[in-house]
Amino acid sequence: MQYYSLNKNAPTVSFEQAVCNGLASDRGLYFPENIPQLAPDFLSRLAAMTIEDMAVEVMQPYVGNSLTEAALREIVSATLCFDFPIQSVSEHIGSLELYHGPTLAFKDVGARFMARCLGHFIAGDASAKKTTVLVATSGDTGGAVADGFLGVEGIDVVILYPKGKVSPLQEKQLTTLGKNITALEVDGVFDDCQDMVKTAFLDDAIKQQRQLTSANSINVARWLPQMLYYFIAYKQLHKQHKDIVFAVPSGNFGNLCAGMMAWKMGLPIKHFVACTNSNKVVPEYLQSGNYASKKTIPTISNAMDVGAPSNFIRIQEIVANNFKALKAILSGFSYSDTATRAAMQSLRTECDYVAEPHGAIGYLGLEAYFKQAGDTSSYGVFLETAHPIKFAEEVETTLDIKLEFPAQVAGIMAAKKQAISIATYADLKAFLMD
């Protein structure tokens, strides 16, 4: 499998090169030269397959010759080592809980897969320079990347996060590990962090000093494994439900984009719903046909506070930039903080389900789609992307409850924060050049 830049002005590369580069030389995102199709008998074999076997078969065409089947299987096994349950919320709606991994967020799958791929590639290259993973986070990515790469030989991790715009637990997860993990606290918003990262990748002075790659969903090894959520969910549901709709809380749109890749491969998904907070660039585009990035608006669902979602260009590529085709498979809805809190309360009182703000927005979008489409026969799945404890203050205040800390993060709030404050790209460059 070869990967090309969506800016169409850079050489095609292998999976290994795409992972190590992060971003193409023309600043474009990498995209596979073709989207492989599932084997004709894949769906008939699905019930009897293990999750590991299924994941290896799905991912193998994308890694191509960059990984042997044995190496891929080892990486998949170490990545998918926790549960992905679907909790029933109502007769026709379930919550796909993606927070049972080590950092309590859906980003664990992509971060663990990428960390193991990159570690494998570096270990197999005697001439490889020490690699710096440079990543921007709006919340959960930072903690997942920090955990996934902690202690990996030959790799340093530098994480940029917006000051005061991640939850206290999220901040602790990315600022307390030490070792090969460094956190940079940026005086700005997530889009500022993301712009700094992209600029650094094209800075020749930095590239002469460090081998850079990214662990945001712009990296193919972070983005593509998220397809597996949808295969895992479909495997659990397909015997009971013919038509399945996925509602995805969306910020940088990597997760939703991966789901659409699964659909394009042949996984029978009826429809997707892009669910956003007040940062509603994509829902507005789906209404008007005019795409325009905007200044980020801070909300209680901070992981989705993105005004210029990087992965949307990949979604457009999946449908060959055909707006009509996109509208046929994707709907979009956005919600205020007030509506989000009301949904959290409704889920608690009417469904006995505790959702954090991002999952609540997914639920709202799913209900809105069913009403708009007049769809009474499909089964809806909203993705609960983080454990409620990651937004404890908001959840406890809104629902008047007290949450218990899961074992994965017991004691972390008492750990000492270690972060370096920066404000401009010049500050980042100075740090990387030091």
- 241-268 confidence digits (pLDDT tens): 999 999 999 999 999 999 999 999 999 9
In a domain, 1, yes or no: no
Query: Domain limits at 262?
Result: 84-434
Tokens of residue 215, six digits: 């662990």
pLDDT < 70 positions in the chain: 124-129
Question: Could you tell me if residue 104 is left (phi over 0), alpha (psi between -120 and 50 degrees) or otherwise beta?
Answer: left
According to the model, what pLDDT value does residue 275 have? 98
According to the model, what pLDDT value does residue 84 have? 97
According to the model, what pLDDT value does residue 222 have? 94
Tokens of residue 395, six digits: 């959840």
In a domain, 19, yes or no: no
In a domain, 383, yes or no: yes
Question: Are the CB atoms for 115 and 149 separated by under 8 Å?
Answer: yes
Identify the residue whose tokens are 């005086």. 187
In a domain, 321, yes or no: yes
What is the model's pTM? Answer: 0.90
According to the model, what pLDDT value does residue 126 have? 58
Domain containing 100 — which CATH number? 3.40.50.1100
Alpha carbon separation from 146 to 174, 177, 265 (Å, rounded): 6, 8, 31
Q: What are phi and psi of 191, to 5 degrees?
A: -60, -35
- Based on the residue annotation, tell me whether 107 is a catalytic residue of this protein: yes
Determine the Cα–Cα distance for residues 158 and 180; give it in Å rounded to an integer: 9
Determine the Cα–Cα distance for residues 316 and 4; give it in Å rounded to an integer: 15
According to the model, what pLDDT value does residue 83 have? 96
Question: Are the CB atoms for 387 and 104 separated by under 8 Å?
Answer: yes
Give the contacts of 338 (CB within 8 A, at least 6 positions apart): none
Q: What is the count of structural domains for the chain?
A: 1
CA atoms lying within 13 Å on the CB side of residue 89: 30
Question: Are the CB atoms for 80 and 110 separated by under 8 Å?
Answer: no
Determine the Cα–Cα distance for residues 160 and 419; give it in Å rounded to an integer: 10
**3-state percent breakdown (helix, strand, coil) of the chain, nearest 5:** 50, 15, 35
In a domain, 34, yes or no: no
In a domain, 56, yes or no: no
According to the model, what pLDDT value does residue 138 have? 80
pLDDT digits (tens, 9 = 90+) for 321-365: 999 999 999 999 999 999 999 999 999 999 999 999 999 999 999
Q: What are phi and psi of 342, to 5 degrees?
A: -65, -40
Strand segments, DSSP code E, in 69-178 are 86-90, 93-97, 131-136, 155-162
Determine the Cα–Cα distance for residues 30 and 224; give it in Å rounded to an integer: 11
Q: What are phi and psi of 260, to 5 degrees?
A: -70, -30
Determine the Cα–Cα distance for residues 8 and 5; give it in Å rounded to an integer: 5
In a domain, 62, yes or no: no
Determine the Cα–Cα distance for residues 413 and 429; give it in Å rounded to an integer: 30
In a domain, 345, yes or no: yes
According to the model, what pLDDT value does residue 48 have? 95
Question: Are the CB atoms for 20 and 133 separated by under 8 Å?
Answer: no
Of 8, 107, 239, 416, which is the active-site residue? Answer: 107
